[in-house]
Structure 1
Amino acid sequence: MSIYKILFFCTILCFQLSELNAQARFEFSETSHNFGEVLEGSEATHEFHFKNIGNTPLIIRHVRASCGCTTPYWTKDPIPPGKSGSITATYNSKNRPGNFNKSITITSNADEPNKVLSIKGQVIRHPNAIQNPTAAQMALTPLIKIEKQVYELGNVGLGQTIPIVVPIKNEGKSRLTIVNITASCKCVRLAASAKRIFQPGESATTEILFSPTSLGSMDQEVIIESTDLKHPKTSLTIKAAIMENLGDNSIIKNDKTIKF
């Protein structure tokens, strides 16, 4: 065999070995999460963070939950080596009392092509399910106060996400729990790290994520469901002009949290 053929085969072999060594790899900070007690009717959300510790971009092809009660969201763009991404799992506890243990399977080009995450917890009865509460129960109810009802965001980019910090006070005599938030636009949700529990007399903030899905002027009512027996549903309003493209000085491009 000539020296040229030997060099040719060596080159091919090196190329194949290089291809085999080029691999994306997950490194999760955690692969399971226990929500503990979850109020029936609420959505329990947790964000799993990971880093690509491989030497080629990590591409998540699909994320599948073990049941329709769990909705996953994930980083859609390729994650370069050394960069981070996330998988968010939301469990809908409506009409699902009792313990739950669900899995989320990630299909990707990583060295472990099928990675499994898990969430679990116990759904307990919603206190607002009390029929005809007694005078004593009403006297001890938590009382929610939204410190500001209208949030004017100005120009917002379509499909982007704005964190909105909302100040809340519990003026009642027992613990207040934020159960859920809803809107007809389906463009709001509680942040994964949002504060949900407020002790009697406590003033603090929770965080809402606003992700518009249609163009135009918006005057959107957002319903906040809580364990306040007198006012189980209260509201705030988000006003914004949803635009296709924004300049470099927009609140979205600068990725700033909106605080009031």
Structure 2
Amino acid sequence: MKQFSTIVILILAFSITGMSQRSKPTIHFENKVHDFGEILEENGVVSHVFEFTNNGEQPLVIHNVRTSCGCAAPEWTRTPVQPKRQGTIKITYDPRNRPGNFNQSITIASNAEQGQEILRIIGTVTQGARPIEEIYRREIGPIRLKHTNLSFGRVPKGTQKENSVEIINTSQNPVTITFARVPDHITMEAYPQRLQPGQEGIIRGIFNSEKTDEWGFVNTHMQVLINGEQISNNRISSTATVEEDFSSWNEEALANAPKIEFSQTTFDFGEIKQGEIINHSFIVTNSGKSDLILRRVRTSCGCTASNPDRSIIPPGQSTSVPVTFNSRGRSGRQNQSITIYTNDPDRSASILRLSGVVIQ
């Protein structure tokens, strides 16, 4: 009798387990990948609807749909999908500023037996014609430029660098392009100098570090003249960082190089009243084996002024770099920097800091 009861219990257990397994919802897609093919960026967003069926025996609930990037937005059936019924997942893809091939995944989390499902959308975005205003974003009268800053980057002393910006004449008349307020160390030319209507060209700049006494970051503002005349908003700028060129120094020169040291690199003047003037001197010492040259001392703003007592420091000697901070018109925490450019190959640019609090 006991053996018979045990067999009945086992049969019931297996039956219940089988019913439990069959009762779980399952999600089934006819297609898990959709190929949009070639789509034009200018036509805007595209969409596809994935259809699925609940092949289980319990309601199917989609908890979340997550895409691999923000360019694809999902919508899905929010209500429970009954057994043998269908639901949908709609994916919208935005091709703007995304030229080329794409392959995005969509992860579906649900109460289905499978746990997660992965869908994919693929395709190729072809970039359409862009408006002139998007290509040439800056306007100077009848011409447009892609940008108005010529960045020359790092320019070792004694060398020169070239950069250019593309331009176009958007007017109905020819224009002649020249420049004003151009310093001696910069050469500016337009090619061609006379632009016909609709014609494209370039403005080319050459930065010659040999012709300037500047060191460190150099920011220059110049003017574009149209047919020899000044017009509004005609500024074009250039930026460069002039540095000492140590590339030709051999081991002997490096071993006998100057070496800069400071008694301190920071000074906190504490708390002062607005209008007070703070004076402080940083002591600079040459612990190297040849003359240390202070190429330039640059402050972070006009509120500090610094002129070293001398610019050439023999080995073993020192000099002071006086700093003046005028707190007039300032309040709160102040952080100023003083950058010293030298011929020390290990430390060609050194930064000193002056800080404190100005109260009214």
Q: Which has the higher contact order (CA 8 A, sep 6+)?
A: 1
TM-score by length of 1: 0.46
TM-score by length of 2: 0.34
